[in-house]
Structure 1
Amino acid sequence: MNPIQPTTEPADEEAVLADIRSMLLILLEEYGEDDVEIGMSTTFNRDLELESIDLVTLAGLLEQRYGGRVNFAEFLAGMDFDEIIELTVGRLVEHVVQSLKAAEAS
């Protein structure tokens, strides 16, 4: 697995999307999927076919990159099952950006 470098850079939607895209490509590489288009409307379940264990791995990658400023488990805990099934990359990007901005403000 490729290491994810920690960052304390300001929140920027484009940069966060690039970070998350890189993380997802690391996950998908394990399944032999390396030619996947990942954008804001990409769903974790339907488009990427990620399983719950993959979300745990993604949580670890997010922690590596953003430290305690982004809590993926807490983000998912606030959703019902259908919301998790329909979760898009864009919604995660928005959550990360909001979390980083909130951390910058405090």
Structure 2
Amino acid sequence: MTTTPTPDASAPAHGPDEAEVLTALTEAMSAVLDPVELEATPLTMDTRFVEDLDLESIDLVTLTGLLGSRYGDRVDFPRFFASLELPEIIGLSVGQVVRYVAGCLR
């Protein structure tokens, strides 16, 4: 009788880590922001899209579209944004998006 091994709960999760997702997000931001603007405000986990980068809602749609193209259906941005209240969207940080994406890909 052959048994199928069960995944070890202590084994590391597969998928990109937060640093890899931050790199992908930074690359996607270069399509949304002028390179000079992006260089003036480097992306960190604490960078806020609206308050620090002056992104408008259409910019967030473009950004999430680019990330959606990269990660596919595993990352459900419409559901993510629907779970947020307007003040949370306005205060949304790069770290929140990075953690969401990384969590979806685990």
TM-score band, normalised by the shorter chain?
A: 0.7 to 0.9
Aligned residues between the structures: 92
Regions of 4+ moved over 4 Å: none
Larger Rg: 2
Equivalent position to 2:48, from 30, 43, 46: 43
- For residues 85 and 43 of structure 1, the distance between their equivalents in structure 2, rounded to whole angstroms, comes to 8
Q: How does 1:20-35 map to 2 (within 5 A)?
A: 20-29=25-34, 33-35=37-39
Query: Compared with structure 1, are the counterparts of its residues 64 and 12 closer, same or farther at alpha carbon in structure 2 (3 Å cutoff)?
Result: same
Structure 1 residues without counterparts, runs of 5 or longer: 1-8, 102-106
Who is 1:14 aligned against? 19
TM-score (ref. length: structure 1): 0.80
1:62 touches 1:72 (CA, 8 Å); kept in 2? no
Who is 2:83 aligned against? 78
TM-score (ref. length: structure 2): 0.80
- For residues 16 and 46 of structure 2, the distance between their equivalents in structure 1, rounded to whole angstroms, comes to 20
The CA deviation at 1:34 is 3.9
Structure 2 residues without counterparts, runs of 5 or longer: 1-13
SS of the aligned residue for 1:33 comes to: helix
